[in-house]
Amino acid sequence: MRSVYLFSHAPSESPIRDALEYGSCHVETHALVEGRFVCPITAPPHLAILEPPPSVPIAPLLSAMRRHPVVGRVPSLVVLDTRWLSMASRMPCTDFILRDAPPAEIVARVSRLVGDDVDTRQQPVTFGSLQVDLEGFEARIDGVILRLTPQEFALLRHFVTHPGRAWSRDVLLARVWGHRYNGGTRTVDIHVRRLRVKLAAPHAGQLQTVRGFGYKWMTT
């Protein structure tokens, strides 16, 4: 299994960690305590992700990471605020991503950097005639690809990988849209309605409303 080290100022609240939690990589988090970079001397991971505190100069942390004997030579992904975007092309990192990037983009960027791992590829999730390819970012019914927007697919992906579990609208916003999304919970209802239309019967009925709370995906 591909291993990822996430160096974050807030590991327990990291949208990066949330997006990768149920993927094909093993994510090991390390806290940036008081802005200091600390990494254990272990076997190197396949990817190092640096998620610094918002609006804090990133150069010292990135420099410390690149000098470290374990993660200094592996591919690196840096989480940036828009204020540092003009400097991104000159940073000594493999790739970068904006802090408010949607989960689907986070997964895609990380998958590209860690490379293919045939033995650990996630198998498509299947419910009758519905097949959701988690890594190919496609959903099919009877072999026909559904025309889903990236956000609709991210929402469907979240539901089908947690069947039977009820999710509040607030939690869905945080996990699917990202912690920095400023829109209201109404957007969840809109996307659920559109997703149901595209799924059609009988699969639309599997995306059930939990009255006064949110939504859940049922297996039958």
Residue 61, class by beta-carbon neighbours within 10 Å (0-12 exposed, 13-18 middle, 19+ buried)?
buried
Structure confidence by residue, pLDDT tens digits, 21-35: 777 788 889 998 776
Write down the domain spans for the chain.
Answer: 2-118, 125-217
Residue 118 has a pLDDT of 43
Side by side, the strands of the sheet bearing 167-168 are 167-168, 214-217, 207-210
The CA distance from 70 to 130, in Å, is 43
Q: What percent of the chain has pLDDT over 70?
A: 92
**Domain 125-217 coded CATH 1.10.10.10:** yes
Statement: residue 123 has pLDDT above 50: yes
The CA distance from 213 to 24, in Å, is 30
Residue 122 has a pLDDT of 64
Q: Average pLDDT for residues 104-123, to the nearest whole number?
A: 74
Task: Give one DSSP letter per residue of 29-87, joined into a string.
Answer: EEE-BTTB----SSS--SEEEEEPPTTS--HHHHHHHHHSTTTTTS-EEEEE-GGGGGG
Structure confidence by residue, pLDDT tens digits, 145-165: 999 988 898 899 889 988 898
Q: Average pLDDT for residues 36-60, to the nearest whole number?
A: 85
Residue 48 has a pLDDT of 94
Lookup: tokens for 155: 């929402």
The CA distance from 113 to 76, in Å, is 8
Select the more confidently predicted residue: 40 or 159. Answer: 159
Most confident residue range from 2-16, 33-47, 119-133, 170-184: 2-16
Side by side, the strands of the sheet bearing 144-145 are 125-127, 130-133, 138-141, 144-145
Bridge partners for 47 per DSSP: 4
Structure confidence by residue, pLDDT tens digits, 52-88: 988 778 888 888 888 887 888 889 999 998 888 888 8
Q: Is the pTM of this model over 0.85?
A: no
Instruction: Please name the fold of domain 2-118.
Output: Rossmann fold (3.40.50)
The CA distance from 215 to 208, in Å, is 6
Give the Cα-Cα-Cα angle 125, 137, 26 (nearest 5 degrees): 70
